[in-house]
Structure 1
Amino acid sequence: MRNVLGRLVTDLSKKLSVHAVAALLLLSAAASAYSAPKTVLVLGDSLSAEYGLARGAGWVALAEQKLKDEKIDAAIVNASVSGETTSGGRTRLPALLDKYKPAVVVIELGANDGLRGLPVNAAQANLRAMSETAAKAGAKVMLIGMRIPPNYGRDYSDKFFAMYGTLSKEFNAPLVPFMLDGVADKTQLFQADRLHPLAQAHPTILANIWPVLQKTIKTK
């Protein structure tokens, strides 16, 4: 009887050890996953792609440095392309989500649609589709809005600006209403084409974006 009890105690100890090791491994894996930096995917146009600027001078690069300075454990992937429209972003997004698996997707698109006078409903449908696709992939969507000159009439420009607010409410997505606030009315802050801000304007652009971006990353 004593031998039987001894074996039972030994077997129980072994099982407990195995379970303890398994529990430690699970905790270790969870800790590693938690400590992994969050990926922030920026899907934008020339305003985010450093068009006409030295590398590292645009607001996205400045945001990367600010993340480091404030010791926020996140990394930015800048997938912005000069000339990009909402249609192009919608086409490219699925592959980017699959490749980078971002925690946050920042969508800065629409300006080229507006400058070309493309239908607002079409741009809004594309932004909606991107927001839905990102959300289904488990990413938090953040929108960066834009205003355009009334070249195509006040009604068009008003509807264009309003679509960002509409989508922000629809998806509960954090919104920067106008990324060029404090810049758009200062011609001296633009390149010769009058469309793309100079490097010295990008700290102001980041100041418009950063509070929303920081909160979005920390709450994801």
Structure 2
Amino acid sequence: MLLSLAVLLAACSNGNQTKNESKTNTEVKQPKKQMKTILFFGDSLTAGYGLEDPETAFPARIAEKIDSLGLQYTVVNAGLSGETTAGGRSRIDWLLKQKMDVFVLELGANDGLRGLNVEETAKNLQFIVDQVKAKYPDCKILLTGMMVPPSMGAKYSDAFKAVFIDLAAKNNLKFVPFLLENVGGITRLNQADGIHPTAEGHAILAENVWSILKGML
């Protein structure tokens, strides 16, 4: 009788232990959080034109910040050198095949340097924003503003700058007023062409964008 009772108690103990172990294993093996996507959509500034190491371009630097903080985001660089807003408009549908949670829109610099019609620039940017919102209503959008050199004339410069300010206000977008703040026009921070930032310049661009982006993640 005592032997039977001992065996019974041992069996119950083992059963409880197994259940506890099973419960513990269930708690440990939690599914990994699904990675979200941040897509940088832009021109040569986003692409990192002229840099020896593409990893020094500002999107890659922001990716490093995100990784260091352990945030569950993957950064996609969809920059294309020479891209205008019209080019971006024709390319956006293809990019929207990829799910995105944050969309960083950096286009317009080439429009400005070519003196293109600011109304067309505004329409193209609005189209891109509309397409993103239609496909992914929950996607957060960050717009980076741009300016043109004074040589383009005060009237054009003012109208061009206003395109980004108005677009951000109209669509309630998070906004970096001037992507090249503290970089544009500073010789040591730009490559020989005086337009594209050096690696050091891109580090500042990353800070300009990160100051707004970090609050969106």
Shorter-chain TM-score: which interval? 0.7 to 0.9
User: Secondary structure at the residue paired with 1:60?
Assistant: helix
Alignment map for 1:1-220 (pairs within 5 Å):
35-53=33-51, 54-98=53-97, 100-138=98-136, 139-216=139-216, 218=217
Q: Is the 8 A contact 1:40 1:103 kept in 2?
A: yes
Distance 1:59 1:202 in 2: 5
Change (3 A) 1:195 1:161: same
Q: Is the 8 A contact 1:174 1:212 kept in 2?
A: yes
1:86 touches 1:127 (CA, 8 Å); kept in 2?
yes
Secondary structure at 1:202's aligned position in 2? helix
CA distance in 1, matches of 2:192, 2:185: 15
Tell me which residue corresponds to 1:6.
none
Q: Is the 8 A contact 1:134 1:140 kept in 2?
A: no
Percent same amino acid among aligned pairs?
41
Q: Give me the whole-angstrom Cα distance separating, in 2, the residues matched to 1:75 and 1:159.
A: 35
Aligned-pair CA distance for 1:164: 0.7
RMSD: 1.4
Q: Which secondary structure state, in structure 2, belongs to the residue aligned with residue 75 of structure 1?
A: strand
TM-score, structure 1 normalization: 0.81
Provide Cα deviations, 1:74-125, integer angstroms capped at 9, x if missing partner: 1111111000000111111111111x11011111000000000000000000
Structure 1 runs, 4 residues or longer, greater than 6 Å off: none
Q: Distance in 1 between matches of 2:195 and 2:68?
A: 30
Q: How far apart, CA to CA, are the structure 2 residues paired with 1:55 and 1:162? A: 31
Q: CA deviation at 1:52?
A: 0.6
Structure 1 runs not aligned, ≥5 long: 1-30
Match of 1:10 in 2: none
Amino acid at match of 1:64: A
Larger Rg: 1 or 2?
A: 2
Partner of 2:21: none
Q: Could you tell me which amino acid in structure 2 is paired with residue 165 of structure 1?
A: I
Q: CA deviation at 1:151?
A: 2.4
Q: Which one-letter code corresponds to 1:201 in the other structure? A: G
Question: TM-score of the superposition, structure 2-length normalised?
Answer: 0.82
Query: Is residue 45–residue 109 contact of structure 1 (8 Å, CA) maintained in 2?
Result: yes
3-state SS of the aligned residue for 2:46?
Answer: coil
User: Structure 2: which 5+ residue stretches go unaligned?
Assistant: 1-29
CA distance, structure 1, for counterparts of residue 101 and residue 135 of structure 2:
9
Aligned residues: 185
